[in-house]
Structure 1
Amino acid sequence: MTELEDRVNELEAKVAFQDETIETLNNELSAHQVRLAKMQRQIELLAEKIKEGRDPGMMPQHQEPPPPHY
């Protein structure tokens, strides 16, 4: 092979590796976007529950017993 053919083959190998890397990163980014959207929705639901006072673990402030030092 000539030097030019070697250089072309090397460049083709680099491009193939870069294509594979880009595809892998794109798949990871898509998965992260799905997870992020799910977490954002969960936060919205929690915020709605807190505003409505529906969270069974949280009592409205007027129903909480006073601290023990009172």
Structure 2
Amino acid sequence: MSEPAELEPRIADLEIRIAYQDETIEDLNKTVVEQWGHIDRLSRLVTALIDRIQELENARSLGNPPEPPPPHY
């Protein structure tokens, strides 16, 4: 088995690596949360746009006659 003097630098290196990994995980988590917020907002916007397009199509099909061509035709 290794001597305690030999293990201390290895343990210190492992602790440093864990600290950096913890920081990286936290940064990635923040990024994921931010991206989900963007995705949620975009999803709501797309849904609103789809609803608006459907409303316009329904209004057009309810008997609104097509717009006559301009006079210069």
Q: Does the alignment reach a TM-score above 0.5? A: yes
1:19 paired residue number = 22
User: CA 1:40 to 1:65, structure 2 compared with 1: closer, same or farther past 3 Å?
Assistant: farther
Gaps of 5+ in 1: 55-59
User: CA 1:64 to 1:10, structure 2 compared with 1: closer, same or farther past 3 Å?
Assistant: farther
1:7 paired residue number = 10
TM-score, scaled relative to structure 2 = 0.73
Name the SS for the 1:46 alignment partner: helix
* Runs of 4+ off more than 2 Å: 60-66
Gaps of 5+ in 2: none
Cα deviation, residue 13, structure 1: 0.3
Q: Larger relative contact order (C-alpha < 8 A, sep ≥ 6)?
A: 1
Aligned residues: 61
User: CA 1:46 to 1:10, structure 2 compared with 1: closer, same or farther past 3 Å?
Assistant: same
Aligned Cα root-mean-square deviation (Å): 2.4
1:29-44 alignment to 2 at 5 Å? 29-44=32-47
2:69 aligned with 1:46: no
**Identity across matched positions, percent:** 36
Residue type matched to 1:30 in 2?
V
Cα deviation, residue 65, structure 1: 6.8
Residue type matched to 1:5 in 2?
E
TM-score, scaled relative to structure 1 = 0.76
